[in-house]
Each structure stands twice: as C-alpha cells, then as structure tokens.
Amino acid sequence: MKKITLILKLEAFVFLVTAIWAYSIIGVSWWLFFILIFTPDLFMIGYFKDSKIGALIYNIGHTYVAPFLLLIIFLVFHIYITLPILIIWIAHISMDRVLGYGLKFDTGFKDTHMGHI
C-alpha cells in the first residue's frame, strides 16, 4: 500500500506544480489564488449531518471531475472566470493529496483512499 500511496502523491505533486504553472501563465492576481485555495474545503459541510453524507459531499468537491467540467465550459463558452477557478480547484485537490488527504470513505473523515490519516 505504501508504494501505491507514494505514486498517488507523486501524481498529485505533478498536478499541483502544473496547476501553479498554469495559473502563473494566465496572469490573474495571486491574491485570488490565496483567497480561493481553501474554498473547496467548504465541501466538508456534510459532516455536520453524518459521515455518510459528509463523505459524499466532500468527495464531490475533491475529485478532478468538477474542475475538468469547468474546463469544458471554459473551452466551449469562453467564460473566462471559470479558468482561474478550475486551476485553483485542481491545485487544492492536488495539494490535499500530496499531504495525504484523499477521498473519504463513509466510515469516518480520517478513512481515505490514501490511507488512514
């Protein structure tokens, strides 16, 4: 399991570095980056109900699916504000995974696909 976790962390590190590099290219304020970098953690709100709902909502906000859907919206409709948001979102998810925080199991917040926190 340790080798797999290391591979997942390395993959996430590559995504994190790439997201930061992409953000630097688009020329948006770094203040926006630092203000929004922890916004996806609002998806933890489901844990106020219970761990099953919490894991579901948290995982929706912590998969790469949603930011890549924003990328499609950006590419199709040219809605510029989606670009920095999706890059920051990818950076957040990647940062979490580098730190060992993964997608949650409904058994508890500390049980993740990256291992127990």
For residue 117, pLDDT beyond 70: yes
Confidence of residue 18 (pLDDT cuts 50, 70, 90): very high
Q: Over 90: is that where the pLDDT of 108 sits? A: no
Q: Please enumerate in sequence order all residues whose Cβ is within 8 A of that of 37, keeping only pairs 6 or more positions apart, or say none.
A: 88, 91, 92, 95
- The string of pLDDT tens digits covering residues 27-77 is 999 999 999 999 999 999 999 999 999 999 999 999 999 999 999 999 999
With 90 as the cut, is the pLDDT of residue 115 above it? Answer: no
Nearest-angstrom CA–CA distance, 67 and 98: 18
Provide the CA 9 distance to its chain's centre, in angstroms: 13
Q: Hey, what are 18's tokens? A: 């790439």
Cα-to-chain-centroid distance, residue 55: 14
Give yes or no for residue 6 having a pLDDT over 70. yes
Q: How sure is the predictor about 112, in pLDDT bands with cuts at 50, 70 and 90? A: confident
1 confidence band (pLDDT: 50, 70, 90): low
